[in-house]
Amino acid sequence: MATPFSLKPTLRGELVILRPIRAEDADVIGALICDDEEIAILTGAVHSRDEEFTGPSLDELRGIYGAWAHAEDRLVLGVIDRATGDLVGEVVLNDWDAGNRSCGFRTLLGAAGRGRGLGTEATRLIVEHGLRTMGLHRITLEVYDLNPRARHVYEKVGFVHEGTGRDALLLDGAWIDVHYMAILGS
């Protein structure tokens, strides 16, 4: 059965192109994750700044991204920096709830894609696609308190803070809150 996530569009902005993810993108995404310790910290993948992130192997990542390229329960788009043509991250609509026309959102942007508005534009493009083209009513996300840069981007795009999960992440012996945010369509 086809779902709204079956269609894998290419979305174009002034700064980025969002295109369907491919299995071979795992090589770049894997390098982004391994080369940028900030990603593991900001996503809660480690519990100490000294902890080395050990995620899936490259072969496992290729399998994951290959499956996501055709998945009907999520939309994963690679973020291409128009200035360089490089893949700098990904944006994802997932956790689809058909009955409530809602889903979750997450993003991963490597250091080369930060600080130039690429994340804001990529977020805006995929959220507008979800709400307008796919007919979603609600898109949600979670962001840790230690990531105010991401929260600022989400607020600029229109996400609203709906609540806080206290002490959701233990990092370097300190508890970090998580914030729940959502944006609504019509």
Q: What are the structural domains, with CATH classification, of the chain? A: 11-136 (3.40.630.30)
Per-residue pLDDT of the chain (186 residues; tens, 9 = 90+): 567 888 999 999 999 999 999 999 999 998 888 888 888 888 888 888 888 877 788 899 999 999 999 999 999 999 999 999 999 999 999 999 999 999 999 999 998 899 999 999 999 999 999 999 999 999 999 999 999 999 999 999 999 999 999 999 999 999 999 999 999 997
State the Cα–Cα distance between residues 18 and 9, nearest whole angstrom. Answer: 8
Question: Is the pTM for the entire model greater than 0.85?
Answer: yes
170 - beta bridge partners? 175
